[in-house]
């Protein structure tokens, strides 16, 4: 079977990284790129046999490309610290790598929000390209919401990747601030203009799209909370862009 490198980027993920690495302990190599953790994340990774490299923080896409550059095997599986490979997904990956029929594979994520796995709200089936030939893929340079840019064919796996994305409301608030700030920088780099009107309209649209068009109401209270979070994220990114341009 073709050998596999797993790559993970982290910062202060002591509560997550142990379970993540344990779920891929069967891989031939685990690469972790840390951006200055202070909670014992690096020590946990090393104790579990991962190769750890420490760098500054240039954004999600560039950091994942750094991790990719450290990988030494032909195939790469990219994970976030809050993701877990199930035994069923492991079996499918191992089967695929015995005789690959594509250069990259998309995996559907089953994501949780404040303790509930979301089956609607635009979060399911949520296919992301994560398994690919090292010489055929590269991450986009996006500061947030990066993706693998493939130079070759792709297919889809059947088994799902478990994603524990927002543990509680404190986690929601922290990520909301970080993601909206990065998104505002990306909008500015693209030459976009911000305004209060834009912020309000984008926020209203994000709520309507999540809760109504993507059936977030079927995800119960958490579906409503997620729709509000998406609205706030969209609102904040344009407000932050507007304020940056005002200054």
What pLDDT, on a 0 to 100 scale, did the predictor assign at position 1? 66
What pLDDT, on a 0 to 100 scale, did the predictor assign at position 193? 92
Is the CA virtual torsion 127, 164, 120, 183 positive or negative? negative
CATH assignment of 4-166, given 3.90.550.10, 3.40.605.10, 3.40.50.720, 3.40.50.300?
A: 3.90.550.10
What pLDDT, on a 0 to 100 scale, did the predictor assign at position 6? 98
What pLDDT, on a 0 to 100 scale, did the predictor assign at position 247? 82
What are the residue ranges spanned by the domains of the chain?
4-166, 169-246
Distance CA 100, CA 154 (A): 10
Counting Cα atoms < 13 Å in the Cβ hemisphere of 33 gives 24
* CA distances to 34, 100, 150 from 95, in Å: 31, 9, 21
Q: What tokens does 54 get?
A: 């420490």
What does the pLDDT look like over 126-175, one tens digit per residue? 999 999 999 999 999 998 889 999 999 999 999 999 999 999 999 999 99
In this prediction, residues 2-7 reach a mean pLDDT of 96
228 has a pLDDT exceeding 90: yes
Distance CA 226, CA 217 (A): 10
What does the pLDDT look like over 166-201, one tens digit per residue? 999 999 999 999 999 999 999 999 999 999 999 999
What pLDDT, on a 0 to 100 scale, did the predictor assign at position 134? 97
Burial class (CB in 10 A: 0-12, 13-18, 19+), 133: middle
Q: Say which DSSP state 1 is in.
A: -
What does the pLDDT look like over 21-53, one tens digit per residue? 999 999 999 999 999 999 999 999 999 999 999
Position 121 confidence tier, pLDDT thresholds 50, 70, 90: very high
What pLDDT, on a 0 to 100 scale, did the predictor assign at position 171? 92
């Amino acid at each position: 079977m073709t050998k596999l490198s797993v790559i993970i980027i982290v910062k202060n993920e002591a509560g997550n990284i142990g379970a993540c690495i344990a779920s891929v302990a069967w891989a031939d190599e685990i690469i972790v790129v840390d951006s200055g953790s202070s909670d014992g994340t690096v020590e946990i990774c090393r104790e579990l046999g991962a190769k750890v490299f420490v760098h500054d923080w240039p954004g999600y896409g560039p950091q994942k490309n750094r991790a990719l550059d450290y990988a030494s095997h032909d195939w790469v599986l990219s994970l976030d610290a809050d993701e877990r490979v199930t035994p069923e997904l492991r079996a499918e990956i191992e089967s695929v790598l015995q005789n690959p029929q594509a250069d990259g594979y998309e995996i559907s994520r089953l994501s949780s929000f404040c303790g509930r796995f979301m089956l609607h709200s635009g979060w399911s089936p949520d296919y992301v390209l994560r398994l690919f030939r090292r010489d055929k893929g590269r991450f986009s340079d996006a500061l947030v919401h990066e993706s693998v840019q493939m130079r070759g064919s792709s297919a889809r796996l059947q088994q799902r990747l478990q994603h524990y994305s927002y543990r509680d409301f404190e986690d929601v608030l922290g990520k909301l601030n970080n993601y909206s700030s990065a998104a505002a920088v990306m909008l500015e780099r693209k030459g976009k203009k911000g305004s209060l009107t834009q912020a309000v309209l984008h926020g209203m649209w994000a709520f309507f799209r999540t809760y109504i068009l993507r059936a977030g109401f079927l995800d119960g209270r958490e579906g409503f909370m997620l729709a509000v979070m998406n609205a706030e994220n969209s609102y904040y990114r344009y407000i932050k862009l507007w304020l940056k341009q005002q200054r």
